[in-house]
Amino acid sequence: MKHFHFRALALVMLLALGTTAWAQSKVYLTREISPASLVRIYQALGVKAKGRVAVKVSTGEGSNPNYLKPELIKDLVYDVDGTIVENNTAYGGDPKDVRNNSANHWKVIDRHGFTKYFPVDIMDEYDEIRIPVRDHTHLNYDIVGGHLANYDFMICLNHFKGHPMGGYGGALKNLSIGCASANGKAYIHSAGKMNKLNMDSLWTPKYIGDQDGFLESMAAAAQAVVNYFKKENGIIYISVMNNMSIDCDCVDHPAPVKLEDYGILASTDPVALDQACVDIINNQKVTAKNDPTDLLKRIDKQHGTHTIDWAEKIGLGSKKYTLVNIDKK
């Protein structure tokens, strides 16, 4: 009888904490990539965007053709009455294409068609703010665009693809590097060594020599943004798996796309969402039109999944998930 009471008490304690050892996050999936399917998968999450809604998406480097097009995302942005939000980058390049200052960035945003459809906000155009991090392994704070404070809810709208430094780009990168100001990007990339951008120094081994430290810093910064919005109305995550080059939308001339478009995934857990996308790539079969080999090598070379592992370790989410297909059978 005593053993029974002990087990019952343990179960009550777990439920009181809101966690169970067998709980899994839900990741929703549609194989259709269209404006309508983006709205459907948002609705499937069952979380209504409220208040002033920020839609964080990469508007793409000047000559990169792979970013999520305004025509694809417009119905979702209209449905939530959202504002497209971005931040300036932390690297040099061709002045007509690079987005490391607001003047150039606005030209690229306009050229890519976003201002035709939406209000757009470069959040670090005028200032930046520091928000708390829970994981202090590398960072003392997260540095984000000052206009983040103008929003109550965020839709983290991600283009899943490869990335030269992170291995892959998904929800965790969009939350961390994507929401960071230019100085914040330097702080994350350097694993806490540089908190004011110096482009001449940042991209040297002194500041970017700790790959796992960079990945762990991304996870910590992602958690900071998530916690910030959970104090307001909330945050959700949607990832589109199309035009999947091994290079990010931040690369001006990306490597050719060798993978077929897959679909759209969404979750209230960014860790589960990124894990599901990586699992899908891992399970792709090599065919004449669909070859995941280069992307998998890129992820492995950059130890990319360590970001997911670390994000789970610090309590941002769970790698365990249940995939829910919302397509009609």
In a domain, 145, yes or no: yes
Q: Does residue 88 surpass a pLDDT of 80? A: yes
| Mean pLDDT value across residues 91-106 | 87
User: What pairs with residue 56 in β-bridges?
Assistant: 85, 156
Provide the CATH number for the domain around residue 283. Answer: 3.40.50
In a domain, 249, yes or no: yes
Question: pLDDT tens-digit profile of 131-162?
Answer: 999 999 999 999 999 999 999 999 999 999 99
In a domain, 272, yes or no: yes
pLDDT band at 124 (very low <50, low <70, confident <90, very high): very high
Among 99-103, 169-173, 299-303, the minimum mean pLDDT is found in 99-103
pLDDT of residue 11: 35
Q: Does residue 5 surpass a pLDDT of 70? A: no
Number of neighbouring beta carbons within 10 Å of residue 10: 10
Looking at the chain, the whole-number percentage of residues with pLDDT higher than 90 is: 88
pLDDT of residue 193: 98
pLDDT of residue 61: 92
72 lies in which domain range?
30-325
Q: Which residue has the higher pLDDT, 250 or 304?
A: 304
In a domain, 247, yes or no: yes
DSSP, residue by residue, 156-185? EEEE-EEETTTEEESHHHHHHTTTB-HHHH
In a domain, 269, yes or no: yes
| Mean pLDDT value across residues 192-211 | 96
What is d(CA 280, CA 36) in angstroms, rounded to the nearest whole number?
23
Q: Does residue 15 surpass a pLDDT of 50? A: no
In a domain, 221, yes or no: yes
| Mean pLDDT value across residues 218-240 | 95
Q: Quick one: 116 exposed, middle or buried, by C-beta within 10 A (0-12, 13-18, 19+)?
A: exposed
Q: Which residue has the higher pLDDT, 180 or 96?
A: 180
User: For residue 55, what are the CA distances in angstroms to 45, 116, 120, 304, 306?
Assistant: 16, 16, 9, 25, 26
Question: Beta strands 25-30 and 263-267: pairing type?
Answer: antiparallel
What is d(CA 23, CA 322) in angstroms, rounded to the nearest whole number?
10
In a domain, 18, yes or no: no
pLDDT band at 23 (very low <50, low <70, confident <90, very high): confident
pLDDT of residue 231: 79
The domain tally of the chain equals: 1
What is d(CA 270, CA 272) in angstroms, rounded to the nearest whole number?
6
pLDDT of residue 308: 98
H/E stretch holding 156: strand 153-159
| Mean pLDDT value across residues 216-242 | 95
The mean pLDDT of the chain is: 92
Q: Does residue 66 surpass a pLDDT of 70? A: yes
In a domain, 13, yes or no: no
Q: Does residue 329 surpass a pLDDT of 70? A: no
